[in-house]
Chains A and B, each alone.
Chain A
Amino acid sequence: MREITYRQALNEALAEEIERDPNVFLMGEEVAEYNGAYKVSQGLLDRFGAERIIDTPISENGFAGLGIGAAMVGLRPVVEFMTFSFSLVAFDQIVNNAPNMLTMSGGQFNIPITFRGPNGPAHQLGATHSHATECLFANVPGLKICTPATPRDAKGLLKTAVRDNNPVLVLECELFYSHKGMVDDEGVDLLIPLGEAEIKRAGSDVTIICYAQTVPMALAAAETLAGEKINAEVLDLRSIKPLDLPAILRSVAKTHRVVIAEQDRPFCGVGAEISYRIQKEIFDELDAPIMRVAQEDVPMPYNERLEQAVLPNAEKIVAAAKKIC
């Protein structure tokens, strides 16, 4: 193991997969000559050349569709969105073409494509640039969605996504690109299965279910709660779809209390589905109502104080946990 950044972990994953399989290529805005808007693809153009690291015009709908078409005839594209807020321009391709093709063709065409890039609010980018898209895409059968929160998960999940035979969305966090963490040595073929949650902190009194940006918040909240004699378990989903329901149920059966900390909006958000599943499967294990901490249900304001009021944070998670503990 060695310590690298989240950005570097993604970069290694891309490099390893492009190296391994000649059908894999990277396409997107500013990925090649500029080395990526957030420098995730740093050095890849030099290493693999312009045939495999490809700059596009600002045409999200076009290049997302191009990727799907290329996947229909055997390539395995990795398509970068500068942010997932811009993937909305390509919504038709991601929602209508990629996940429906296998069913519509009676099983003839699977679409092995990876869509990746930062997702979720960053800092004061305003309403158009702050979308947490996971709940939009999670509603679509045929898409898989993972949400790495650590460098190790970023590398392992992206590599798996590229090898999956379905359309997979790797929703990264812009604010994490410079975060450091321990990752297996180079040369280890690090593959983390989609649909496998991980306990990031073991506990006994309440389960905080989280993913992506809410993972560090949940860990910070758990520390605070520990000071108040509440021992929280932090369960990082890592994938939204498939959802690791067994891991969720195991944890809840142990703690009997749940706070779901999500970075999306509350209405029809990821936490809504998870709470439904928990109460349906193990209602009797619950000692308190399931709590959810999500964004406020408003377009993102630019003003910093209002933005902070909209976003989930550790204090809100602590408050939610204390209400039920």
Chain B
Amino acid sequence: MPAPEQRDEVEMLATMLLIRRFEERASQQYQAQKIGGFCHLYIGQEAVVTGAVAATRPDDYLITAYRDHAHALARGTSADACMAELFGKATGCSRGLGGSMHYFDKANHMYGGHAIVGAHVPLAAGMAFAAKYRKEDRVTLCFFGDGAINQGGFHEALNLAGLFKLPVIFICENNFFAMGTSVKRSTSLEHIVDRAEGYDMRGEIVDGMNFREVRDKLSEIIASIRKDPHPAFVEARTYRYRGHSMSDPASYRTKEELEKYRLDDPITRLRAQLTREGKLTNEQFDKMDKRAKEEAMASVKFAEESPEPPLDELYDYTYANGVEAGVSPAKKTASGKKA
């Protein structure tokens, strides 16, 4: 039962392809040492964020952890801005100041990119609080990994959301591992979703390799939240094909396990569903994939040719300029213009 606000499936498949091709390029560029710091790839998990985004409006809030390239791309941040950020260029979505783990895109309601595990979960509660405070029907999507659910801040945020009935969906992208630690070795509960119960919150498990399942479950929850604000918890079971970060050989899991999930690839699955239903031809798919590859390739060129953030901007973003005009009359020099 596709809700009226659901996004077109073929378009979302194209987004999944763009995410995959973008990250394959990013991985190459990282190995070529064009990208510094840590870089965590999302490959394998694409159905989770695209499924969720397909169920939302563009003005709904979205916030995530450091495995964030896909979340920005799904929200509409350009591949150019995403790649330029990895290259540390001024044209990046965070002006080259944030890097892979700290993508931000205010215009597309993507509120980061947060690299301290669990630390953004309370922020999501805050964004949902603001929406409710202003009597807006926006929903906040908060993504995090299975490793985040044992942080104090996570629990405090869930309690606050439950207590204040905040319009936020906590989406645990359960890829079964936090670096080398499996959920079995990190979490006292057998099922992550049971965390929700302790906070009197609806909890659902979805197959995170299945775009449609993610989208439809989210649509249902969002419809309910828009009517009457409340939090919800979704455990999306998924898998990352690559290591935790570029430097992790992932020797803690078996080839067989990885192969099992690869056979269940979210892109292949949505493609098959659409083809079977006569909504997509092979030619169309190939064209889409070609376009995704070209866009990813072009983003590398764009990033390479972009300028670095200038040295004399070093102090420009430590403090915001100005004061809120309504609170205290601002002098002309302090009214938001750079000093």
Alpha-carbon gap, A34 to B101, bound state (A): 23
Are A59 and B151 closer than 8 Å at their CB atoms?
A: yes
| A303→B152 contact, CB < 8 A | no
Pick the residue among B119, B152, B317 that contacts A59 (CB under 8 A): B152
A268-288, CB under 8 A of B: which get 1 and which 0?
Answer: 000000000000000000000
Lowest 7 A-B CB distances belong to which pairs?
A: A302-B99, A124-B36, A303-B88, A124-B37, A57-B150, A34-B180, A57-B186
Name the contact of B97 in the complex, choosing from A30, A55, A302 (C-beta under 8 A): A302
What residues of chain B have their CB less than 8 Å away from a CB belonging to chain A?
36-38, 88-89, 94, 96-99, 101-102, 114-119, 147-148, 150-153, 178-181, 185-187, 252, 308-309, 311, 314-315, 317-318
Smallest beta-carbon distance B144→chain A, Å: 11
**A123 close to B (CB within 8 Å):** yes
Contacts of B38 in A (CB 8 A): 125, 129
Q: Which residues of A contact B (CB under 8 A)?
A: 29-30, 33-34, 37, 55, 57-62, 85-86, 88-89, 123-129, 296-299, 301-306, 309-310
Partner of A55, one of B102, B152, B181, B318: B181
Q: A302 and B116 in contact (CB under 8 A), knowing A55-B185, A125-B37, A126-B101? A: no
Q: Give 17 A-B pairs besides A89-B153, A303-B89, A306-B308 with Cβ atoms closer than 8 angstroms.
A: A33-B180, A33-B181, A33-B185, A34-B180, A58-B147, A61-B152, A89-B119, A89-B151, A89-B152, A126-B37, A296-B315, A302-B37, A302-B94, A302-B102, A305-B311, A306-B309, A306-B311
How distant is the Cα of A126 from the Cα of B95 in the complex, in angstroms?
Answer: 12
With A129-B115, A302-B96 given, is the CB distance from A30 to B37 under 8 Å? no
A126-B179 contact given A57-B187, A301-B314, A305-B308, CB 8 Å threshold: no
Q: Given A305-B311, A306-B97, A310-B314, are A127 and B36 also a contact pair (CB < 8 Å)?
A: no
**Cross-interface CB contact of B118 among A34, A58, A88, A306, cutoff 8 Å:** A58
CA distance A266 to B118 in the complex (A): 29
Please name all residues of chain A whose beta carbon is closer than 8 Å to the beta carbon of B96 when the two chains form the complex: 301-303, 306
Note all chain B residues with C-beta closer than 8 A to A59.
150-152
Nearest opposing residue in chain A for B37, CB measure? A124
Whose C-beta in chain B lies nearest to the C-beta of A123?
A: B36
For residue A305, which residues in chain B have a CB less than 8 angstroms away from its CB? Answer: 88, 308, 311
Can you name the residue of chain B whose Cβ is closest to the Cβ of A33? Answer: B180
Residues of A within 8 A of B89 (CB): 303
In the bound complex, residues from chain B placing their C-beta under 8 Å from that of A60 are 151
Chain B residues within an 8 Å CB radius of A296: 314-315
- Contacting residue for A126 out of B98, B187, B317, CB 8 A: B98
Instruction: Tell me the complex Cα distance, A301–B147, Å.
Output: 26
| Contact of B102 with A309 in the complex, beta carbons under 8 Å | no
Bound Cα distance A304, B115 (Å): 18
Evaluate contact between A33 and B252: CB separation under 8 angstroms.
yes
- Of A85, A123, A299, which is within 8 A of B318 by CB? A299
B residues in contact with A30, CB < 8 Å? 179-181
Identity of the chain B residue whose Cβ is nearest the Cβ of A298 in the assembled complex: B318
Task: Report yes or no: A86 in contact with B116, Cβ–Cβ below 8 A.
Answer: yes
Is B36's CB under 8 angstroms from A309's CB? no
CB closest residue in chain A, given B87:
A303
Given A34-B180, A37-B179, A58-B178, A128:B116 Cβ within 8 A: yes
Instruction: Give CA–CA (A57, B154) in the complex, Å.
Output: 13
Q: By the criterion CB–CB under 8 Å, are A34 and B308 in contact? A: no
A33→B181 CA distance, assembly (Å): 8
B151: chain A residues within 8 A (beta carbon):
58-61, 89
Q: Give complex CA distance A29, B147 in Å.
A: 11
Q: A37 to B133, alpha carbons, bound, how many Å? A: 42
- B residues less than 8 Å from A33 (CB atoms): 180-181, 185, 252
User: Which residues of chain B have C-beta atoms less than 8 A from A303's C-beta?
Assistant: 88-89, 96-97, 308-309
B180 surroundings in chain A (CB, below 8 A): 30, 33-34
In the assembled complex, which residues on chain B have CB atoms less than 8 Å from the CB atom of A310? 314
Complex: A310 Cα to B37 Cα, angstroms: 16
